[in-house]
Structures are given as C-alpha cells and as structure tokens.
A and B are shown apart, each in its own frame.
Chain A
Amino acid sequence: MDFLIMNSMGFPILSALIFLPLAGALILLCIPGDTAAKNWTMLVTVVTALVSLPLYWNFDASTAKYQFGEHASWISALNINYTLGIDGISLLLVLMTTLIMPLCVLGSWRYIDKRVKEFMICLLLMETSMLGVFMALDFILFYLLWEAMLIPMYLLIAVWGGPRKVYASTKFFLYTLAGSVLLLVAIIGLYLDQGTFSIPALMGQDYSTTFQIVVFLAFFLAFAIKVPMFPFHTWLPAAHVEAPTAGSVILASILLKMGTYGFLRFCLPITPEATILFIPYILWLSVVGILYGGFTALAQQDMKKLIAYSSVGHMGFVTLGIFVLNQQGIEGAILQMINHGITTGALFFCVGMIYERTHSRELDAAAGLGKYMPVYVSFLAFFSLSSLAFPGTNSFVGEFMILAGGFADNKIVTAFAIPGAVLAAAYMFRMLQRVAWGRPVNPDHSGILDLNVREIVTLAPLLFFVFWIGLSPEPFLRVMNVSVTHLIEQVGFASDGAVSVAKLMIP
C-alpha cells in the first residue's frame, strides 16, 4: 500500500462522491412529480460538486502517490478490494465530472418533458459510475463501473433519443461492449500473473514482451473504441446525433475521456514495452483521426454531427499528446481532455438550445439566428473560438503543449497534424458564420427568443473556465506535474531498450 496516501479528511470523501448520486437516485425513486425530480437532482449534483471541491484544496501536488485513499476488502476469495484514490491525472477529471453534471441537469430542464424522473435517475447513475471509473484503483472495481455505465447511457439514448435512437443506441452498446470483453480477459491474465487486481501494484512489473503485447492490444481495443480513435469512431456520430443534449454532453465531455484516461492509467505504466513498440502506429492513427475528423466535420450539415466529428479530431490531438511520451505532450493531453470536455460540452449545449427553439439541427435552418439571439451567438462565438484553439482560450494552451511536445519527439508526424488545427478553424468558422449571419436570404426566425437566465447560467461557468484555463493554466498544470513525471519514469524505467531512454533524452 505504499502507493496510497490514506484519506485524512475526517470522512471518506471519494466514497461520498460515488455514493451521493447513487443514494440520490434511490431516493428519487420515491419522489413524485417532474419538477420535484428536477429540483432534487439539481440539489444532489450541486452537493456532489461542492463536496468534490475540497479535493482540489487538499490535494498534495508534490507527490505522485494516490491520495484520499480508501481501502476495504470486497471479495476476499479472489483478492478483490474496494480501493479508491486519485492522483494528478485523475483529479481534474473527477472535478470536471462533478462540475459538469449540474449543468447537464440544468440543460435538460425543458428539453426532457417525458419520463423526467427516469431520466434524472439515469443521469445520477451515470455520475456514480463515471466518478467511480476515475477513482477506482482496483481493476475489478474499475471494470465493473466501466461496464455498468453502458446501461444508463444506453437508456439515455434509447429512450430519450432522436428518430434513429434504436440504431444509435444499439451501435453504441455493441461497439463499446465488444471492445471491452477482451479487456476482462487481459485483466484476469494480469491477475494470474501477479495475484492481485490492484492497479498500482500491477504497474512496473517485469512482464514478458509477448505478454505485454497481448495485454496492450486488449487494452488498446477497449480504450481506442471509447476515445474513439480512427477507425473505431463510427459509433460516435450516430450516438451524438441521436442522444438528448445532456447525453451528448456527458458522452463528449466525460465518456470519451475514459478512453484516454485508460491509456494513461493502464497502457503506459502496465505495459510500457508494448507501448513503445506500438507508438509509431498509434501516432499515425492519431494524425489520421485529426485530419479525418477535420475534413468530415467540414462537410456536415447537421451541427451535432459536425461537433461529433470535430471530437474525433480533438481526441486525435489528445492521443498524439499521450503517445509522444514527454512531459509537455502528456500534460498538454490531460489539459486538452479537460478543455475538450468544457468546450465541446458547451457546444452541445448550444446546439441543444437551438434545437429546443427550431426543432432542427441543420445548419441551413439555423442560418441567421444571430440577428434574433445576440447573447446566444456571443456564447457560441467564444466556444467556437475555443474549439479551434484560438489564443487566449483554453484549447490553445492544450493544443500548443501537445504540438510542442510532439515536435520535440517526432517532427514529421507532428507536422502532419498541423493542418488539423487549420481545418478546425475552417469548420468552426463555417458554422459560426452560418449561425451568426447566414446567407443573404435566411429562414424566418421571427419570434425566436434569446437565451433565458437558466440557459445563461448553464453556459456561463463553462465560458469562465474557457478563459481561466486559457489565460492562466498554471493552477491546472500544477496538480498534474509530478504525476506525469512519475508516469514517464514508469514507462522509461520499465523499458530496457536504449531507444526509449534516448527518446526521453530529447529536449
């Protein structure tokens, strides 16, 4: 247990975060009335968010160990434990999850008008499992929550989704489940090798190269589908387009991050040799994803689809940052995970707000809305700029760090990623221009109201973070610094080839 600093806050804060939404969902079962259900869910998510804040103040950024640790025996026959803990990599993801959930509730206030209670229960169950995934330090606990999440997410799309919800939800479920069945086999393999399911204890062990390669491939399939990396991305546009706004936001902001989180938490430290072996392929796949996502987004008429494909591109940057394996690249990748969560989440909210008014997500149908919705368009403009990594916004910092790290590692591959940034500007400006000004002749939008207070409250916190991270990223980078250094050491030490050492020596 030398990897875990036990929690000393007086109460088990991580368990509280996991079980608060779950308890909220159970209590919600007995609360009658739609408005009461919304209010209650709002309360639960806000309380969860407030409870999570002390994590940041009390986080010790000078150690790479897992903090706020909790440990209890769960299934003794198989040495499975209930171990929780967070380090610099997961801290920000946990905070982002707790902070985005109240906004999701707020964003679905009017969007969801049937079966409100069930919807809110699904949201709360999602929150429980998502937080659990980021906190779990036991493989079975992790896998359990990772898989359990599929059920509420499936229902969110299948019950409250758009016209092609059946196709989209089934595809989402089949794709992600098929990806992770072999993950379970790999986990069992690791257990039989080491006799433990403890994730930190499995890191940095002396596995044979063949074993590492097999385990890595099983991991990679599961996580690459979740990210999603090209060519495993096809479920994403379908799911995004059909999901209700809150579902899209959760999907884009948090669910996709689990894939990249998986790379950071499992692939790199547990199978470092295999990682280094596969790096060239993954880097190229990332570049393909960036370019493919950008070009496809450029051709979309449906705004949700546009943002969905832009996600493929942005997540390509994240995987690029992770697998260049240097401090800047990985820090940039983690920051970009947060940025993407904020910006893309906000953009999905924006599209949802148009949809509530015009019942269409077509770019042409939304053309010229700026005249009637000036406040809305201002928000949209800032988020679009953030999405294309405009200097001064959050994504600029992240993308810059990734590219800087990339150039330090491999100039050719990174050079190929550069057009991705240009493409991002192209498709975002195309959307922004259409919505704000449109063509000489626009559809009739008279009578459409601008954002109300609730909607402004939904978007404002996200805008705040766009500028905070954009102008002063230090508070966010500070907490991950030591953990990332430790992660790179883990990869470096475990790999015996001179190649990898040389890789780390490159300034």
Chain B
Amino acid sequence: MKLMLFAPELFLLLGSLVLFLLSTGKVGGKTARAVTLTLALGSVLVCLACLRHEGTLFFEAYRIDFFSQLIKLVIVLGFSVVLLFSTELKGVDDEIRPEYYLFLTLSTLGLLMLVSSVELLTMFIALELSSYSLYLLVPMRDDRTGVRMQMESAIKYILFGVVATGVMLFGMSYLYGLTGTTYLVDLLPRLHQMMGSPAALIAIAMVLGGFFFKLAVFPFHSWVPDVYQGASNETTAFIATVPKVAAVAMLIRLTALATPEGQAIVTMLIILSVCSMFYGNLVALVQTDMKRMLGYSGIAHAGYVLLGLVTMQEVGYAASLYYIAGYLVMNLAAFLVICKVSEHGENLAVDDLSGLHKRAPLLALTLAVSMFAMAGIPPFVGFMGKFMLLTGAFKAGHLPLVILAAINTAISIYYYLSVVRVTYSASPEDRPAVLVGGVSKMVSVALVLVIIAMGLLPDQLLELATEAVRAIL
C-alpha cells in the first residue's frame, strides 16, 4: 500500500498540523509538550512498522528503502529522547512553547523527508524545511543575558546556512548542466562517464558542502560554537545530534555517486577529515563553556565520521552509520546532563559541574560514561565505532589518516577527562543538589545501557547498518 510508504512523514505532518492549531490558541507549554511527545513516540512505532517497506513515490523522486527507513527510525528515536529529557524547556518562554514544538517537529519532518530523497530538488526542499525550522528555534530562547546572544547566534546560523545552501544549489546546477537530469538514478551512470572532468568533481564537492554544513565539517564548521552557545540547551541538544544523522546518511548517498574512480573526492575528504579532527580537538582543549566544548568536539567527531566515507566501500559506510548512531546516543547523554544541571536554562561552564557526583550521582555517572565514550575508551560505543572506522580506513590503504586519527584520540582525551575530573574530583562548594525526575532518570540509565551495549555487542547493529548501506549501493 502506497500510504504505508509515506506513513512516518504523514504522521508527523498531521501532528504538526495539530500543533499549529494549538499554537493559534491559548495553550500552555505543558499541553504542547504532551502532544509532541505522544507524536514522537507514535512516530517511533510507525517507523518501526514501516521499517521493511520498499518502494518509490512522487514520480520516483522519493525512495523508500531499508537505508532510509532505518535512518528515519534513528532520527525519531533521537527526537523522542530529546523531548523526553527536556521536561521543562527552561530557556524558552511559556507563551511561545507551542510554536517551539511545532518547529521542532517540522524540522524532524524535514529530516525524515531528506533521507528518502533521491532527486536533487526534493533533497533541497527537504533540507530547507528542516534547516529553516531550526533557524527559528535558536532566537526563541528568552533573553536572559540581556545582550541578545541568541539573536546573534541565529543571525550567524542563518547566514552561514544560506551560504552553504547556496553553494549546494550551485553544485546541483552543475550536476544538472552536466547530466541533464536531477534524478540520482540517472545521474549516476552519466556522471561516471565524466568522472575525470573537473566540473563533475567540483559539482559533487559543492553539493557535499551543504551536508558538511549540517555535520559541521571543516571548513563549514564556524557556526557551531556560537549557535551551540546561543541556543537554549534543549535546542542545542537537538541541533547537535539528530540532523547530523541525516547529514551522514545523505553524505553516504552522495559519496556513493563518486565511486569508484573518485580519487579527487577521496583526497578532499581526507583533507577535510584531518582538518576537522585537529581543529575540533585542539580548539576544544581550551574551552570553558560546556556547550562550546561539545561543539568543537562535534567538529572532531565529524572528522572521524569522514574516515568511513573515504573508504568508498560498504564496510566503511556502515561503520560511519554505526558511529554517527553511537555519537547520537553519547551526545544525547551529555546534553541530558547539561539540561538537568542547568537550573534555569542558563549556559553551563565546565566548572559548574563541580562535585556533580555528590549533587546527582546518576547524572555524574551518565556524564562520565558519555565523556569516556566520546573519547573512545572501551567498553563504550565510541571505542567500537572508532575501531571500525580505523579498520575500514586502514583496509582501504589510508594508513597516515589512521595514525592521525589515533593521535587525535590521544589529544581529545584531555578535555573529556577534564569534565570527568571536575565532576568527580572537585568539591561542589555551595552548588545546590540537582533534582532529576523519574523519566529523566530512566532515560539516562537507558542511554548508559545503550552506550555500553552498542560498544560490546555491535554485531547485530552493524549487520543492520551494512544491510542498509547495501540497499543504496
């Protein structure tokens, strides 16, 4: 049945209509949140039900395969987790909370549509739907600092975003000009014939640029620290996690275009990967704001993810997918702690976590697990993911890249460890205890368990990822 193919998107679309109607009336944030949460959990079920569907829609512009369905599931799971732990939405005025939830849902909808798009314009529209909703979420933070930091961030976000999309659109026009089609299926064989030509390479590189922006790959990273800092904690939790999954999925789809003779693209990816890793990790070393630090660490992680793409092989793509799914979980765990520890929705400095193991033992443990996982220490998912990425890249013959990535692991441990150090070794002084609700506790335990389980038993998930990647190659 054709309807089932579009069911997850349709479900979220109807849901956002409901939210839209709610936002026109006088509805408080609590109701809006309840509706959105129901919507999110419902969409998880719908996505699960549609996991194995396959087919095409809208004149072949929209493809449903295991790859897209799996990514959709991951995206709505991430969406649900963000909603589950952002119980109070501290940084946003109660009046505009229904709108906030509306745009959050729309952004997720855009991401769902993005991963199924196999036609350039559809891709573009889906990407913009998700991006513009996100741009709007940033300035919705209340003006606590009095310097309108959130506005500055929003302006930066939108300007950088528009430039990145412009670059992407320009690249798409090249692709169309070269091949005469916007459908990836037709594009692929025609592009292969002219793989040596610089025009084709530049076109692909530019199109990739749009997604590099989403994933925060060097040199499209400069929005990250400011937006992370300016947006409210809950918004950042979303921006830092969910869209990156979709971005990786699309990068995989597009990089597959360049195979097999894409040596220039590979070289470009290697350079970007190395730059991202070093830039992200080195700058993160000196950060004092928790979210800025995670922002720079995110740039470094984007570099790691590219390790999988440079292999141009199924194994590498699957490893990238696995890694970004793991990153989603690790990062969500970190942001859960930030959202909970931040009393009124203010930004947290690393020092604000002092003595967290006395103020909230479970949060301290969650944070420690998340930090060690991101640093790539076993038995957590960060290690397993990194190990697979390194193995894949090594196998594809990129030994120098592997060594540089390994060195980066050693660099990054310092700042992750300093967070753990503050939580466990520093005294809380007069900082208050942190109250954590029952649901948030359950979510944080679940995240910790998932981080460990993905690190120790990756077999099943890796198989799923490989199967998904095989569906698009």
Contacts and interface: CB of A to CB of B under 8 A. Distances in A.
A78 interface: yes
A342 B319 CA distance: 45
B442 to A, nearest CB: 16
B48 interface: no
A408 interface: no
Contacts of B420: 154, 158
B425 interface: yes
Contacts of A144: 378-379, 383
B132 to A, nearest CB: 39
A177 B377 contact: yes
Contacts of B378: 143-145, 147-148
Contact of A151 (B377, B407, B414, B459): B377
Contacts of B86: none
Interface stretch (A61-69, A184-192, A414-422, A487-495): A184-192
A75 B458 contact: yes
B409 interface: yes
A191 B391 CA distance: 9
Interface stretch (A167-175, A283-291, A428-436, A455-463): A167-175
B390 A77 contact: no
A159 B424 contact: yes
Nearest 4 pairs between A and B by C-beta? A144-B378, A178-B410, A181-B406, A158-B425
A169 B425 CA distance: 10
B377 A78 contact: no
A166 interface: yes
B409 A181 contact: yes
15 contacts: A75-B459, A143-B378, A144-B378, A148-B377, A148-B378, A151-B368, A151-B377, A158-B421, A166-B421, A169-B421, A182-B403, A182-B406, A185-B394, A185-B403, A189-B394
Interface string B352-377: 00000100000000001000100001
Given A143-B378, A185-B394, 12 more contacts: A74-B459, A75-B459, A77-B466, A78-B388, A144-B378, A144-B379, A145-B378, A147-B383, A151-B377, A158-B425, A173-B417, A192-B395
Interface in A436-465: none
A74 B357 CA distance: 34
Contacts of A279: none
A76 interface: yes
Interface in A320-351: none
Interface string B119-146: 0000000000000000000000000000
Nearest to B386: A184
Contacts of B368: 151
Contacts of B462: 75, 77
A285 to B, nearest CB: 22
B151 interface: no
Contacts of A305: none
Given A75-B458, A76-B459, A143-B378, A151 B372 contact: yes
A4 B378 CA distance: 26
B142 to A, nearest CB: 36
Contacts of B27: none
A185 B400 CA distance: 10
Nearest to A179: B410
B402 interface: yes
Chain B interface helix/strand/loop/mixed:
helix
B466 A140 contact: no
A191 B387 CA distance: 12
A173 B391 contact: no
Contact of A188 (B383, B391, B407, B459): B391
Interface in B401-419: 402-403, 406-407, 409-410, 413-414, 417-418
B320 to A, nearest CB: 15
A106 B378 CA distance: 29
A174 B391 contact: no
A174 B387 contact: no
B377 A188 contact: no
A46 interface: no
Contacts of B458: 75
B383 A174 contact: no
A77 B322 CA distance: 13
A150 B383 CA distance: 14
B377 A77 contact: no
A304 interface: no
Nearest to A182: B406
Contacts of B390: 184-185, 188
B463 interface: yes
Contacts of A38: none
B417 A170 contact: yes
Interface string B440-463: 000000000000000000110011
Contacts of A189: 394, 399
A492 to B, nearest CB: 31
A150 B413 CA distance: 12
A151 B387 CA distance: 18
A75 B454 CA distance: 12
B413 A140 contact: no
Interface in A140-167: 140, 143-145, 147-148, 150-151, 154-155, 158-159, 165-166
A165 B425 contact: yes
Contact of B463 (A77, A143, A178, A191): A77
Nearest to B426: A166
B424 A150 contact: no
Nearest to B397: A192
Given A78-B388, A151-B372, A188-B402, A173 B413 contact: yes
Contacts of B425: 158-159, 165-166, 169
A195 to B, nearest CB: 11
Contact of A181 (B388, B395, B399, B407): B407
A166 B406 CA distance: 25
Contacts of A148: 377-379
A218 to B, nearest CB: 10
Nearest to A146: B378
A202 to B, nearest CB: 15
B200 to A, nearest CB: 32
Nearest to B318: A77
A169 B459 CA distance: 34
A159 B423 CA distance: 10
A140 B387 contact: yes
Interface in A174-217: 174, 177-178, 181-182, 184-185, 188-189, 191-192
B413 A177 contact: yes
Interface string A74-86: 1111100000000
A174 B285 CA distance: 14
Contacts of A159: 357, 424-425
Contacts of B379: 144, 148
Contacts of A154: 417, 420
A147 B377 contact: yes
Residue in B372, B387, B458 whose Cβ sees the most chain A Cβ within 10 Å:
B387
Contacts of B414: 170, 174
Nearest to B372: A151
B394 A192 contact: yes
Nearest to B465: A77
A298 to B, nearest CB: 32
B459 A150 contact: no
Contact of B459 (A77, A165, A170, A181): A77
Contacts of A165: 425
A174 B417 CA distance: 9
B466 to A, nearest CB: 7
Contacts of A188: 387, 390-391, 394, 402
